Amino acid sequence: MTRDLLTAGINTVRGSAAESLGDLLNHDPDGSRAALIVPHLSRIAADPSLDVRACVAHLLHAAIRRDRRAAADAFAVLVQAPDHLLASPYVSRLAVALMHGDPASVGLLTERMLHSLVAPVRRVGGQVAAPAAMEWETSDLLAKVLAGNDTAQRQGAADVCAASPEHG
């Protein structure tokens, strides 16, 4: 069982600051807040604490609206970490959001998730592979999940497919 990084992160000063910065960017009507924060995304994403990085994913997700490239670059920094981080809800949500503009962008990350030694990460890998197949016609990852016998991967894909009204 993996520790809940997000809960631990929001109970730290840096983690809660990252959450607050993300909230500020979500309510940034003219981009003035983003102009102050975006140049620092990669440095923030490189925080040594996995707990804090789990919260930074919220900030990066909020930054997509103002500077997708900077958010994607910072995401690449963020995930240079142990696999446990990849099971955090904000991280997986951010991966899927980045796929919306460029489905191939997280293919390697999804492969990493699917082959992780950490079962919750493999489940999230299945959860990421499913929308890639259903929405962006990149079915190769989901095909591997369905052809395999990894319970965690298959459960993750089933979670998403069952929740999708047009595919469930």
pLDDT digits (tens, 9 = 90+) for 6-25: 999 999 999 999 999 999 99
Percent of the chain with pLDDT over 90: 61
| pLDDT attached to residue 162 | 83
Q: Is the pLDDT of residue 31 over 50?
A: yes
**How much is the pTM?**
0.88
Burial annotation 104-123 (CB, 10 A radius, 16+ → b, else e):
eebbebbeebbebebbbbbb
Q: Is the pLDDT of residue 64 over 80?
A: yes
Percent of the chain with pLDDT over 70: 93
- In whole angstroms, give the CA distance from residue 78 to residue 58: 11
How far, in Å, are 43, 85, 111, 136 from residue 18 at the CA level? 12, 16, 28, 30
State the average pLDDT over residues 121-142: 81
| pLDDT attached to residue 166 | 63
| pLDDT attached to residue 1 | 42
Give the model confidence (pLDDT) of 75-105 as tens digits.
999 999 999 999 999 998 998 898 887 777 7
Retrieve residue 40's tokens.
Answer: 């620092």
Q: How many other CB atoms are found less than 10 A from the CB of residue 102? A: 12
Residues 6+ positions from 165 with CB-CB distance below 8 Å: none
pLDDT, averaged across the chain:
89
